[in-house]
Amino acid sequence: MGPFEVGTAVLVAALTLIVLQVPVGLALGIAAFGGALALLPVSAAVSLMSRVPHEFTASWEFAAVPLFLAMGAVITRSGLADGLILLAERGLRRLPGGLAIATNFAGAGFGAASGSSLATTVALGRMAIPQMLRAGYNPGLATATTACAGTLAALIPPSIPLIVYGILAEVSVAKLFFAGIVPGLLTAFAYGAMIYIRCRLNPSLAPTSDIVDDEDPIGWSVAAFPIIAIVILGGIYGGVFSPSEAGAVGVLAAIALAFSQAGFGWRELAAALAEAARQTAAILFVAAGAFMLTRTMALTGLPNALADIVEVWSVSPVLLILASSVLFLLLGMVLDPFGVMLLSVAVLLPAFERLGFDLIWLGIIIVKYIEIGLITPPVGLNVFAAKSVAPPEIDLVVIFRGVGWFLLAEVVVMALLLSLPQLTLWLPNTLL
């Protein structure tokens, strides 16, 4: 077989192993190693594949990932999120669907100090789902709102997927952070508008109620999120520190604020750091396999061959975007979200570069599709996270049915972001 055929076989093998439920990182690594063996002598293949995981995990930029995960875990376990959720609920509860809208915007706020979609969903779900159910909200609306609000952390900085994309695509993580702000807020407002319209047309979904315990003190902790977000983004914008250094500053700020909370001590800190270590290991495992696949794809020349085909066939940018969108959505239904992003970077990036697409804009689009994959069946990791903190009688089917309305809102958001790239690019181009 020639290099092109080997590259195609490697991709088919990787997808087949994933469908057979082999862990994504292992499936990508096995397929990549097999491809390297087909193209290189055994000693050269072993040498190349053994170096790749270390090169990726030892990169300076990746240091931000465990730090931001630790920051999110500390915030979640310390209860620093509670004040933000209570404040949003008390301010918006009189609107149609007010508690759901408040949960949605609290998700955007939590994302600004976390970076982990699953952590955001769990933190919101523990407080907001019982609150909405007590107020008589439709269970599908209550749980779906929590699952979808959690996805906002994938875009609003600091974002773990944006850090990984920046490393793989070799673009500025700082620019990606600022590029994610407008799409993230646009998504939050689209979700909020959809909830308001639905509940206005069908009041039985969310009865107007004052059932919120005003005796629960909001406390000063509501200021934690603006403080952490301003420190991180302000420091990056001002050139005081890099995104990786911002992660260290952020986690130290979160720990300092968490120790002022009642009930948070050294044991809770150890548990938060252990949770962050487990999440980091899971991301590293998938990312290392994907980085091996990227190297094998470079050896086969398949990405450049696809770029040549796109150029020779005079494929229009619009057609390439539409075809890629369909591919992302199909892969998102069966793959881990990180697997979707890493596969797309390994295979499709040269074709987009050849047609002159801005890689910062492309990163936001890819992460948007990851965000959609987090709530799309059958994988829908955020839906399973919402299920884990919801009452056991609420079935997964109920949550997925509620998520369908949020996917309609995503159609509107994606249409705007795809047709108007400046919505994404004006902020990083202005500030950096």
297-317 pLDDT tens trace: 878 887 777 777 766 676 777
Separation CA 123–CA 119 (nearest Å): 6
Do 71 and 251 touch, CB atoms closer than 8 A? yes
Least confident range from 34-48, 365-379, 408-422: namely 365-379
Phi, psi at residue 100, to the nearest 5°? -70, -40
Q: Per-residue confidence at 192, pLDDT binned at 50, 70, 90?
A: very high
Residue 277 counted as domain residue: no
Q: Per-residue confidence at 424, pLDDT binned at 50, 70, 90?
A: very high
Q: What is the pLDDT of residue 205?
A: 93
Do 421 and 361 touch, CB atoms closer than 8 A? yes
- Residue 109, pLDDT > 90, answer no
Separation CA 398–CA 68 (nearest Å): 32
Residue with the two structure tokens 């939590």: 110
On average, the pLDDT of the chain sits at 83
Region 417-421 average pLDDT: 92
Residue 44 counted as domain residue: no
- Residue 118, pLDDT > 80, answer no
Phi, psi at residue 18, to the nearest 5°? -65, -45
Q: Which domain holds residue 396?
A: 61-264+301-431
Q: What is the pLDDT of residue 126?
A: 80
- Residue 210, pLDDT > 60, answer no
Do 196 and 88 touch, CB atoms closer than 8 A? no
Q: Per-residue confidence at 222, pLDDT binned at 50, 70, 90?
A: low
Q: Per-residue confidence at 209, pLDDT binned at 50, 70, 90?
A: low
- Residue 65, pLDDT > 70, answer yes
- Residue 124 carries which side chain, given as an amino acid letter? L
Separation CA 414–CA 376 (nearest Å): 15
- Residue 9, pLDDT > 80, answer yes
Do 251 and 74 touch, CB atoms closer than 8 A? yes
Residue 282 counted as domain residue: no
Q: What is the pLDDT of residue 138?
A: 94
Domain count for the chain, please give it: 1
Q: Per-residue confidence at 274, pLDDT binned at 50, 70, 90?
A: very high
- Residue 2, pLDDT > 80, answer no
- Residue 1, pLDDT > 70, answer no
Do 159 and 420 touch, CB atoms closer than 8 A? no
- Residue 232, pLDDT > 70, answer yes
CA angle 393, 149, 151 (to 5 degrees): 105
Percent of the chain at pLDDT > 90 equals 25
- Residue 345, pLDDT > 60, answer yes
Q: What is the pLDDT of residue 343?
A: 73
